[in-house]
Structure 1
Amino acid sequence: MIETSARLLKLLSLLQQPKEWSGNALAAELGVGIRTVRRDVDKLRNLGYPVDAAPGVAGYRLGAGAALPPLLLDDDEAVAVAIGLRAAANETVAGTEEASMRALTKLEQVLPSRLRYRIELLQQVAVTPAGGPSVQPDVLLAVAAVCRDHHQLRFDYRNHDGTSTTRTTEPHRLVHTGRRWYLVAWDLDRDDWRTFRVDRLQPRIPTGPRFTPREIPDLATTNRGVAYGGYRYQTRIVVHAPAEQVADRYGPNVASVTAIDDTTTLVETGANELAQLALYLGVLGLPFEVQEPPELIDAIRELTTRLAAAIPAP
């Protein structure tokens, strides 16, 4: 049975090469007869691998099927796939980040140490995340693993003001906003859901005990934490427009939008630089009032004065 399984894996590896194989060529590679090759091809088909057969010298090749069967990768292919998944997990095509992270976690779980070393070397020159702050791949993989396995996670966390704390959490999921990675977790010390920027945390090893996942927080809770939980300033703005109209101006990961009534909407968002937020509000095109923080009101006044001074006298 072991010899048969090993032979099937080798046959599959041969068929995954971009070429067609004659039955005699496969028999020579495997060291078996042509009838054994035919039986092994039938076994692969029963396992879901679409092996196409054509008359003539070039008889067998691996085709496309209705479902995706397991694939065999050699060392170079595994390294290339891992590097590509790391790039996709950092940013590339919108909507693929979390799927890339899951696939990368599965792949790196079974990679031998020699390939991990090659990937780390290539990572230094081949993958340069653009946009938001970069996250160390090992940190991202460690957080993804505890989310998947439901293990408590302790980590050192750097707050927006530069101070550090140690947090003990039940990690729920990773969220990617296109610029940053966030961890949504139950904070055991604060007895509440919290959102943490992954580029600011450093996991502590070993991980904690397993836990039973809590009820998933609603989408508003998650979006609110991602929208302004990791910023220096948390802002609340009342916009005099329907919530549907306001929501069209903000993405779900940029601000939390809540209808007050049919014509008034509460917007909660965050920023590290109030001048940028004041400028953004100025071009929003909707009437609004600032509730907090007071520093934002001062930033809007300063921006208004600067813009007015730039207008030439008549």
Structure 2
Amino acid sequence: MSSSWATIEFMATTSARLLDLLSLLQARRDWPAAVLADRLAISTRTVRRDVDRLRELGYPIAAFKGPDGGYRLEPGSELPPLRFDDDQAVAVAIALQLATTAGAGLAEASVRALTTIRQLMPARLRHRVDLLQVSAIDDRRTPGVDGVDERLLAVGEAIRGTETLRFDYVYESDTRAAAPSGSEPSGPRPPRQVEPHHLVTRNGRWYVVGWEPSRADWRTYRLDRMVLRSPNGPRFTPREIPDGDLNAFVLSRFRGSTDHSGTWPCVGVVILDLPLRAVAPYVDDGSAEPVGTDRCRLRSGAWSWIALAAQLGRFDADVEVVEPPELRQAFAELAARYTRAVG
């Protein structure tokens, strides 16, 4: 009996060591054999045997010669099992979740991959992933550059538990600057109390969308500017986002729309003296169509008419305003302003 238990313990120890070795090989390109032996507290001979075992499992591990001869994990023809640490596993799960909401064209495959990874996770990691129900809003860059920190997990837990968040909000210029959504009182402020409903990522930042009872309004907060207070406030009854469209609502806040359609408040149509191929890469969320071979019609929007006129001026070409009159007036105001600057 003692011999059987010794065999089982040896196999478990060897398997764990193989996983640790695989994790190291995935961490960087080249590993001297002596360094691997030191990190794993084994001999270089045992490292060689463990590398052979990983090769038998399908991992393409190459040996390199020299004074610091060692090993590297190379690309292979098949995808063998991978080893993630806790943070990597959570990051992969969140990325897959974002792919299912961002219209990435791989939604179905992402859902299957997320289900598979979640089933294989230990309970502690499944809990972390389940806390983070996130959505990607009009993302043009890599989402979530702020990382998966404890603050993100705390907000996710509050959303899941329908608990009011208590936090101080730090503005960009200094702690007393005005918020983008309107003027704020000067002097010390009491902590915000917000009913969090959604975690979203847009252009590489995390945001919290919630209902603020003191203002009787929906608000959007940058997570990196929130200083959470403990404990959380009372539980709340979840509300429906305006018009039931989270994407449109968040975009309307960023674009300054007065409704919740997600469209720009100022939209105009112009004809540019440029071919479509020169304009198309810079259309963003507008639209463009050719007018002959050397001109194109562009429909675009901005948060103000002056901003739209200035935005259209970046094309460095003659502009003919089609509609509306407000855009034509904005060009006139800009022309006067630039004339004064020259004078």
Q: TM-score range by the shorter chain?
A: 0.3 to 0.5
TM-score (norm 1): 0.46
TM-score (norm 2): 0.43
